[in-house]
Structure 1
Amino acid sequence: MAAELPPGDPAMQALSAAIRLLDAPAAVRADAPAFLRGFGLDENDIAALLHKGTERFLIYRTLVHNRLRAATREFIPRAVARRGTDAFVRDFARFMQERASTSPYLRDVPGEFVAWVLPQWAADPELPPYLCDLAQHELLEGEVRNDPHGGERPTGKPVALEEPLLFDGTARLMHYAWAVHKLPYATDDRSEPEARPTTLLVFRDIDAKVRYLELTPWAACVLDQLLVNQLGVREGLQRAAAGLGEPLDDDKLAKTATLLAELSDFGVLMGAR
C-alpha cells in the first residue's frame, strides 16, 4: 500500500509518484502523458516534463533511489551483503512506495529503512535468523556517532543508594538473540554468529569513538534499571535481582561496585543526578 503522496502542486505529486510508486516506470513507459494527466497536469505542463523524453523523466527516480540506497548500504553493508543486492533493491523500492523518508537529512534514511524492513525480514523464514540483529547492530555506529546528546559533564556527586545516576547521553543498551558483534567486518564473510542472548552497552567516548561493552547477565539487568528505567540505585538493584529470581547478596553488590567504577573510568557514568 502506497503512502499518501504530498498534497499541493500537481507537478510535484506526479514527480513524487514517479519516484515512489512501484509500478510507475511501467506506467510511464506505457503512456507517460496519461500517467501525468492522472495528477491533473495540463498539456503544457506535460510537454514541459516530457520535453526530453520518457527515460529522461524517469532518471529522477533512478537518481533518488540510487542515492538513498547507497547511503543505506553504507550504514549496514554486511546486512545488505547477506540479504543480496537484488533483494535489497526490491526491499528499498517497497520502502519508497509504502513509507519513504520523512527526514531532510540523508543520514536518517538508513534508520528509517531498517525500522520499516525489520518486521518483514523477521517474518521471512528464508532469511538468516540473525539478519535483523546484524542490521540493528551495524546501524548503531552511525546513530551513536551522530547523536547530538553526549559529552555531559560529571555531576560531582558520588553514587548514593537513593539517587538515580546520570549516564552519558549517547549510552544505550542493545539486546540481541545472536552474538552479531563478534562477526568479521568483511562484507563477503558468511560465517554465522553464535545463537546466545547478548546485551551490549553502546556509547561514544571522549575521543568520539563508538564503544561496545558486552555485559554479563547481572550487569545487563542492573543497567536496564539504572540506565533505561532511571531508578535510584537501591531500588534498581532490588528489581534487577528480582528479575533474575535471585537474592541481592554481597557478591552482586561487589559486582555492581566494580561495574559502576568501570563505567566511571570509561566516562559513561557521570555520577549521581
Structure 2
Amino acid sequence: MSSVADKTAGFQGLQRAFAKHLRAPEDVEAPKDIEDRRVAIYRDLIYNNIESFIAGGFPILRSLYSDERWYDMVRDFIQHHTAKSPYFLQISEEFLTYLQQERAQREGDPAFLLELAHYEWVELALDVSTEEIPTGLDRQGDLLTSVPVVSPLVWSLSYRFPVHRIGPAYQPQEPPESPTFLLVYRDLGDDVSFMEINAVTARLLQLASAGEATGEQLLAQISDELPQVDSEALYGFGLELLQKLLDKGVIAGLRSLA
C-alpha cells in the first residue's frame, strides 16, 4: 500500500511542478524528466487559448496595449490569479476580477482601465446569461395604467469615463464633469445592444425595477423629484420614453396592477 501511496504522491508532486511551470515558464523550470518539446506544446496551448479568449472578450482594451505590454498582463494573470470557475466562458469574468482586485495600477495603465474592462465584459455576461424574461406579459397594454416589467436582461450602468467612446483615437486622461449613463440589454432577438441614457432615464428604470408601480405612478414620482420641470412636458416625454423602452425590449412587457 505504501508503494501505491508513494507513487500517487510522486505523481501529484509532478503535476504541481508542471502547473507551476505552465503558469510562469520564465520563472519556474519545467520538471527535468519531461521532454521540453512536449512541455512546449502545453506552454503554448495554455497561453494561446487563454490570451485569445481574453483578447476576444476585451477587444478595445487589447487595442490600447502594445504586444509586449499585453503579453505581460496576460502572463501575470495566468501566473497569479486563482480561478474560481472551471468554465472557459467565465475566463473573461476571472480576468475582470484579476484587474479589479489583484493587479495594482501600473505605469502606462489608462485611468479608465477598470471601467472599460467592465463595460466590455458586460456584453459577454449578458450574451450568455441564463436569465429568462417572465411569461404572460402584455406588450400592447396601456403604459400608464399597467405595471412596466423591466427585463432581467437589462443592466443600467454609470461610469466616470465615457467608456463607449474610448478607443485608440480617444483616450481621455481625466473623467468629464458628468458621469456617463449606459443601458446594456439583450433584446427579444437575443442581440446585445447599448444605449446612452441620462440620469432621469436611469432613475426611471431604477424605480420600475421594483415592479410595483404603474407607468403613471412612476412618472408622478419622477415629477415630484424634479419640481423644476414642467409636469405636463415631463409626462409627455416620459410616456414616449416608456414606449421606446418597450419597443426595444428593455421593458419586457406590462402586467396589471395587482
Instruction: Compute the displacement of 1:64 (Å).
Output: 0.8
Note if 1:177 corresponds to 2:160: yes
CA shift digits 1:141-167 (9 cap, x unpaired): 322222222454451375577x86422
Cα 1:260–1:82, aligned 2, differ >3 Å: closer, same or farther? same
Instruction: Compute the displacement of 1:78 (Å).
Output: 1.5
Alpha-carbon separation, structure 2, partners of 1:88 and 1:263: 39
From 197, 218, 223, the equivalent of 2:179 is 197
From 26, 31, 43, the equivalent of 1:61 is 43
Q: What is the 5 A alignment of 1:58-207?
A: 58-118=40-100, 123-124=105-106, 126-153=108-135, 155-156=137-138, 159=143, 165-183=148-166, 189-192=168-171, 195=176, 196-207=178-189
Q: What is the 5 A alignment of 1:168-247?
A: 168-183=151-166, 189-192=168-171, 195=176, 196-227=178-209, 232=213
Alpha-carbon separation, structure 2, partners of 1:226 and 1:122: 37
Q: Does the aligned pair in 1 maintain the 2:126–2:192 contact within 8 Å?
A: yes
From 234, 250, 253, the equivalent of 1:252 is 234
Query: What is the percent sequence identity of the aligned residues?
Result: 19
Q: Does the aligned pair in 1 maintain the 2:143–2:239 contact within 8 Å?
A: no
Report how many aligned residue pairs link the two structures.
239
Cα 1:248–1:12, aligned 2, differ >3 Å: closer, same or farther? farther
- Specify which structure has the higher proportion of helix: 1
RMSD (Å), alpha carbons:
3.4
From 5, 9, 13, the equivalent of 1:10 is 13
What SS does the corresponding residue of 2:22 show, helix, strand or coil? helix
Amino acid at match of 2:164: H
What SS does the corresponding residue of 2:28 show, helix, strand or coil? helix
Bigger relative contact order, structure 1 or 2, given CA contacts below 8 A and separation 6+?
A: 2
CA shift digits 1:70-118 (9 cap, x unpaired): 1010111110121332222222222223324333332211121022213
TM-score, normalised by the number of residues in structure 1:
0.71
Amino acid at match of 2:28: A
What SS does the corresponding residue of 1:26 show, helix, strand or coil? coil
TM-score, normalised by the number of residues in structure 2:
0.74
Unaligned runs of 5+ in 1: 1-7, 34-46
